[in-house]
Structure 1
Amino acid sequence: MRVPGLIQDVLFRLVAAAGIVGAVLAGTTRADAFEAANRQPKMVWVAILAFSALALLIPLPFIAWFGAVAVGIYYFDVRPQINDLLRGNYY
């Protein structure tokens, strides 16, 4: 395996780990927070993150990129909004 392929493999594994952590975080978050944030239901996000982590671990880079985007959307869009709502910071 060449160095760029090795770097990509390591990055995909790190993002897969972040997806698993995100699934656990989503699973432990109150379900009504997702509804209040006008997002998909809690279990939908748990499933999206779990399947994204699985997609990142299989050796198909095209599918893995979709998983990486889903994990990124959760961490950079959904999770901050839910945390703001849970802390009482309303928009």
Structure 2
Amino acid sequence: MEQVFGLTWWIMAALWLLALSTTVFALVHAVRQRPDAFTAVDKLTKPIWLGILGVAALLLLITPTRLTLFAFIAIIATGIYLADVRPKVDEVQRGPRW
């Protein structure tokens, strides 16, 4: 029976580490972008996204190896940034791909 709990803990720890590393990646990406790129694509401003992603990273850090409601909020915020904001910010700075 103890092996089941051990396996569950390792799976949750791996998912937590994946969520934290993804959030840190998104935060570093947001830091490196120009502030005007966010407003050019009609998204929230750079400081607001830095705040959202910073809070997301803190929420993940206060819930180590546990996926609580706070962790899910952080994961959703990171997902929104990576799926919606990041591609448009990258495109406006790089130009359209042909």
| TM superposition score category, shorter chain reference | 0.7 to 0.9
Q: Distance in 2 between matches of 1:25 and 1:41?
A: 14
* Deviation of 1:80 (Å): 0.6
* Deviation of 1:42 (Å): 0.4
Unmatched runs of 5 consecutive residues or more in structure 1:
none
Q: What per-residue deviation string (whole Å, max 9, x for no partner) do you get for residues 12-63 of structure 1?
A: 2221122112112111100000000101110111111111111122226111
Identity of aligned residues (%): 33
Q: How does 1:10-89 map to 2 (within 5 A)?
A: 10-59=14-63, 61-89=68-96
> SS where residue 63 of structure 1 aligns?
helix
The count of corresponding residues between Structure 1 and Structure 2 is: 90
Flag the structure with more relative contact order, 1 or 2, with Cα contacts below 8 A and sequence separation at least 6.
2
Question: Which residue number corresponds to residue 8 of structure 1?
Answer: 12
Structure showing greater Rg: 2
| One-letter amino acid matched to 2:43 | R
Unmatched runs of 5 consecutive residues or more in structure 2:
none
| RMSD over equivalenced CA pairs, Å | 1.8
> SS where residue 11 of structure 2 aligns?
helix
